[in-house]
Amino acid sequence: MDIQAIKNRFGIIGNSPALNYALQVAVQVANTDLTVLINGESGVGKEVFSQIIHALSARKHNPFIAVNCGAIPEGTIDSELFGHEKGSFTGAVDSRKGYFETVNGGTIFLDEIGEMPMGTQARLLRVLETGEYIRVGSSKVQKTDVRVVAATNRDLLERTQQGKFREDLYYRLNTVPIRVPALRDRKEDIPLLFRKFSVDFSEKYKTPSIQLDEEARNILVNYPWRGNIRELKNIAEQISVLATDKLITANDLRRFLPEQPEVNRLPMLAAPAQQQGGDFASERDILYKLFFDMKKDVTEVKKMFFDILQNPNVAHSADFHPDNHILHNYNTAPEMVTPNPAITSTQPIILADNKIDHHEEVEETLSIADKEKELIVKALKKHKGKRKDAALDLGISERTLYRKLKEYNIAE
C-alpha cells in the first residue's frame, strides 16, 4: 500500500524522511508474524504504528488489544496477561481468562514494555518462543497464537546492562525495530500538525481558526516539544480556546508555552554524571570533588608544618614570620617565639626547644550526608523556611527537598 494512503487512513501528518522510513518498515513487516519493537519518546504516536501493523496483517479481522505494562500493578500483571484460576490468590473468586487467551489469533500491543517485572518477562519469553503459557495458580499448559508488538520509551539495551530487563527477551522482541522520530527531529512537520489541530479545535469549539505570524511560527518550530505531538496538540487546544486575537504573535505564543527548566547553577567542577541514584547524584559528584581537593590541600599544609618543626634550622622568616606564628612544643606548654628586631627576613629562626617526641595527624571525616544536611539547613535559614525558594537556591526540586527533610529529620 502507498505510504500516503496509509497516512490518510490513520490520520498521520508529516513528510519527514525519518517518519516515512518508519512507516515503510511498518508496512513491510505487517503481513508477517515477526515480533516488532517500536522505540520512541512518550507522545510520538507509537500506538498508531501498532494499529497499522495489525490492520495490514492477515490477523486484521481478529482481536487487537493495547496493554500499558507500566499502568498495571506488579502483583496483578501476570493475572491480566495470562489469567488465573479460582482461589489462586486473595480475591480470585472466579477463574479468569488473560489477554493472551482472549486475543488468540490476533495482536497484542505491549506498551511501556520496559516497565514489565522480571518474573513476567520470563513468562512472556516462553510465550514468544513456544506459544505456551500457564494461568496463575494452574499447572496446565495452554497454547496461544498471538502476535506481539511491543513499544518503549526507554533504552532497553541499557536496562539489560543494569539487570532490569532480560537480555534474551530484548533480542527476542527486537526482531524488527522501528524508531518513531521525536517531534523536534521533524521540524518541517510542526506547522502542518499545528494547523491541523487548530482547524479541528476551531470546529469543535465553534471559534475562528487561529493563525501564526512569522516570528511565532519560528518559535513554534524551534521549541523542544518534550511532550512531542501530545504536547503540541494540547498547546493548540489552549490557544484555540483562550486566545482573544486569532492572529497569534510571538508574545502571545510565549504565554502558552511552558517555561524551560533552569540550568543547574552549581559550579561545574567535573563532567556531569548521569543521574542514576536520584536528584542529588550530580550534586554529590561535585561535593566529592570539592571535599577531596580541600582534604588534599589541608594534608599538604600539615605535612609542610611538621617538616618545619622537625627541621627548625631551615625554617626562614619568609615562610614562618615570628610576629605571626605560634610554634608548639609537644612535651610542654606552647611557647611564643619572641620577636627580635635584629632578625631580618633572611635570618633563620632558632626554636627554644626543638624536640618533638610525638605528633599525630588526625584524619578528618567528610560525610556527604552531613554536608547535604548542612547545605539544606543553611538554605532554609537563608530563605526563612520557604521550601520553594530554598529548593531553587539548592538547584533541586521542591519534592526532593521535602524528601531530604524527612530523611535527615530536619525541623523546618
Q: What is the pLDDT of residue 345?
A: 42
Q: Report d(CA 65, CA 342) in Å as an integer.
A: 97
Contacts of 298 (CB under 8 A, 6+ apart): 364
What are the structural domains, with CATH classification, of the chain? 3-181 (3.40.50.300), 184-256 (1.10.8.60)
Contacts of 180 (CB under 8 A, 6+ apart): 19, 22, 38, 39, 40, 44, 45, 46, 49
Is the pLDDT at 407 greater than 50, yes or no?
yes
Of 7 and 298, the structure prediction assigns the larger pLDDT to 7
Average pLDDT estimate for 232-237: 95
Residue 36 · residue 147 · CB < 8 Å: no
Strand, coil or helix: 27: helix
Q: At which residue does the C-alpha cell 516539544 appear?
A: 225
Least confident of 157-171, 204-218, 245-259, 284-298: 284-298
Is the pLDDT at 378 greater than 90, yes or no?
no
Is the pLDDT at 151 greater than 90, yes or no?
yes
Q: How confident is the model over 63-107, as pLDDT tens digits?
A: 999 999 999 998 899 999 999 999 888 888 899 999 999 999 999
Q: What is the pLDDT of residue 389?
A: 82
Q: How many CA atoms lie within 13 A of 11 on its CB side?
A: 9
Q: How many CA atoms lie within 13 A of 53 on its CB side?
A: 32
Q: What is the pLDDT of residue 305?
A: 66
Q: How confident is the model over 113-138, as pLDDT tens digits?
A: 999 999 999 999 999 999 999 999 99
Average pLDDT estimate for 165-184: 95
Of 90 and 337, the structure prediction assigns the larger pLDDT to 90
Tell me what the pLDDT averaged over the chain comes to: 81
Q: What is the identity of the amino acid at 314? A: V
| Model confidence pTM above 0.85 | no
Contacts of 90 (CB under 8 A, 6+ apart): none
Is the pLDDT at 340 greater than 80, yes or no?
no
Q: What is the pLDDT of residue 286?
A: 56
Is the pLDDT at 242 greater than 80, yes or no?
yes
DSSP string, 49-83: HHHHHHHTSTTTTS-EEEEEGGGS-TTTHHHHHH-
Q: What is the pLDDT of residue 88?
A: 85
Q: How many CB atoms lie within 10 A of CB 50?
A: 24
Q: How many CB atoms lie within 10 A of CB 222?
A: 11
Q: Report d(CA 221, CA 186) in Å as an integer.
A: 9
Taking alpha carbons only, the member of 173, 179, 152 closest to residue 36 is 173
